[in-house]
Amino acid sequence: MAKQQPLVLLIDDEPDLCMLMQMTLSRIGIKTHIAHHLAQAKHFLSEYKYDACITDLNLPDGNGIDLVKYVTQHYPKTPIAVLTAYANMDIAISALKSGAFDFVSKPINQQHLHQLVKKALSVPEVDPSIDQLPLEQKMLIGCSESIKKLRESVKKIARSQAPVFITGESGTGKDIVANLIHQLSNRQDHPFVAINCGAISEDLMESELFGHIKGCFSGATEDKQGLILSADGGSLFLDEIAELSLAMQAKLLRAVQEKKIRPLGSEKEIEVDFRIISASHQNLEQLVQQGKFRQDLFFRIHVMDLRIAALRERPEDISVLANHFIQMICADWGIPVKKLSDKASKFLSNQYFSGNVRELRNIIERAITLSDDDFIEIEHLQSSALRTPSHASEPLLTTQAIEIPTAVQPAQNNKLDNRLPEEGLEQYLEKVEKEVLINALNLTHWNRTLAAKKLGMTFRSLRYRLKKFGLDTDD
C-alpha cells in the first residue's frame, strides 16, 4: 500500500510567495493548499485533514497569532509554523508561546523550508496508552506538584522548535531537563550537545563553539569542527549562558538568528540547523539592566521559560530522590542495596540543601561508603556537614568526627578557619576529598588496593571516586 502524500496548508496574502513555496514542496512529494486570509484558512481546516500549516503573521483579515491559537485549540495534533520578518520578532515569540511549532524569517529559502516541513511532519504524537510515561518519570524524579507540572510543561515544549530558557539554582538538574526536552522532541535521533559556558576560557570559546581551520592561529594544526556544528539537526544546550562575554553573545545571536556559522579563519559560512536550549542560575533580566547581557540575545533565547524549584521547596521529593540515588549508586558499585532508616529519612527531610539535588546525591554517596551494614543511619548522613533550616523540628545532632589516617591528612592550608570557603561547601569538600585520595595514592605508590584499605573503603568505592575526579588511569 502506497504511503499517503502529506498535505500542508499555506496561509499568506502574497500569491508569488505561496506559489514559490508550493512548487518547492511539490518537488519533495508534499501536496499543498493555499489560503490568502484567515477565513479561508479556517474553512480549509474544517474541510481537510492537514499534516502541517505554515502561516504569515500579517493577514488581510486578522493576525496570524489568532490562527495559531485557533489551530492549537481545535486541531492540537496539527503543527503550525509562522513566517515572520525581523521587525516582528516580538510578535513571533508571542506566537510560539501561543502554541506555534516554529517560526522562520522571510524570505525563506528552499533549504530552510525543507527543514521546517520535515520537522513539522515528524513531530512525535503523544499517545497516553503507550509506555511513554517512563522517560519523563525516570529523568525527573519526584512526586511533588512542582515536578508533576514540570513534566507536563517539558512534554508540551518538546513538541515545538522554540528556544527554551531554564532557570533554577545550582544543582537542581537544569542539564537533565534540557536533555529530556531533546529526547522527547523530533530531534531525538540527532546529537544533543551540552556546553558549560563557565568551564571554557574566553580565549577558547569562539574556537570551541564555531570551530576553526588549520593555521588560523598558533597551535591550529588541523581543522576543527565547532560544537554548534556538532549539534546540526539536534539540540544545543548552553549551560550558564550568562558567563559568555558580550562579544561572544553577539556572535551567538547571529548563529541562533540566522542558523549560520563561520569558523575561525574561514571566509565561508556554514548552514546549521539546531534548537537552542539555555540555562543559568543568574537573573538574566538584571544582567540586561546592568549591561552585562545583550537584550536582543535575551529576547531571542527567552521564548519558552522553565523554572526548576529548589529541593527545599519540595521536601516531599527528598526521600524519593534519596532512595533513587541509593538504588543507582549501589548498582553502580555492585553492592547490595542499602535502606534509609526511618530516622535517617526524617533527618534528611529537615535539611536545607543549598546545593539541591546534587548535594543530596553527594550526601547519599558518602553515607553508603560509611555504612557497614544494610541500613543508612543518621550518623552516616551527619558526616556531610548538613545544615538544618531555622524552623526545623529537630536540632542538628552533634557530628561525629571521622578519622582520616594521619599519613593522608589534608595540607595545613586547607584547614577551615573562621572564614567560609569562597567556592561553597560542596566544592570545598570535593577539593579536600580529591586531595586525600591523591595523598593516599602517592603514599602507597598508586597501589589502589592498599590505598582503599588505608582509607577504610572498598576497592570498588575507591575506583568510583577516582573516576569521578578523573584519576582512574585504566581505559
Residue range(s) in the chain whose domain bears CATH number 3.40.50.2300: 7-121
CATH number for the region 312-402 comes to 1.10.8.60
Location of each CATH 1.10.8.60 domain in the chain: 312-402
pLDDT the model gives residue 131: 44
Q: Are 388 and 394 in contact (CB under 8 A)?
A: yes
- Kindly state the average pLDDT of the residues 213-228: 83
* 81-138 tens-digit pLDDT: 888 765 556 676 777 778 888 877 777 777 778 878 887 787 554 444 434 445 788 8
Q: What is the pLDDT of residues 420-442, one digit of tens each?
A: 676 677 777 888 888 888 888 87
Mean pLDDT of the chain: 82
Does residue 445 or residue 161 have the better pLDDT? 161
Reported as a pLDDT band with limits 50, 70 and 90, residue 33 is very high
Mean pLDDT of 379-405: 47
Classify domain 135-309 by CATH number. Answer: 3.40.50.300
pLDDT of residue 310: 93
Q: What average pLDDT does range 219-227 have in this prediction?
A: 84
* pLDDT (tens digit per residue) in 399-420: 333 333 443 444 444 444 556 6
CATH number of 7-121: 3.40.50.2300
In the chain, where does the domain assigned CATH 1.10.10.60 lie? 404-475
Checking 114-117 for CB contacts under 8 A at 24+ apart, the result is 114/24, 114/28, 115/273, 116/54, 116/81, 117/6, 117/8, 117/25, 117/28, 117/30, 117/52, 117/54
Confidence of residue 392 (pLDDT cuts 50, 70, 90): very low
Q: What is the pLDDT of residues 281-301, one digit of tens each?
A: 999 999 999 999 999 999 999
pLDDT of residue 134: 53
CATH 2.60.40.2550 given to domain 404-475: no
Q: CATH 3.40.50.300 region(s) of the chain?
A: 135-309
Other residues' Cβ atoms within 10 Å of the Cβ of residue 305: 12
Residue with cell 488581510: 60
Query: What does the pLDDT read at residue 230?
Result: 92
Above 90 in pLDDT, residue 235? yes
Of residues 405 and 220, more confidence is placed in 220
**pLDDT tens digits, one per residue of 158-212:** 888 889 999 999 899 999 999 999 999 989 989 999 999 888 888 888 888 998 8
Q: What is the pLDDT of residue 289?
A: 93
467 pLDDT band, cuts 50/70/90, is confident
* pLDDT-wise least confident of 20-34, 78-92, 350-364: 78-92
Residue 444's nearest CA partner among 452, 456, 435, 432 is 452
Which of 30-44, 102-116, 251-265 bottoms out in mean pLDDT, i.e. has the lowest?
102-116
Which residues, at least 6 apart from 425, have a Cβ–Cβ distance to it below 8 Å? 354, 355, 385
Per-residue pLDDT band for 397 (boundaries 50, 70, 90) equals very low
| pLDDT, position 92 | 67
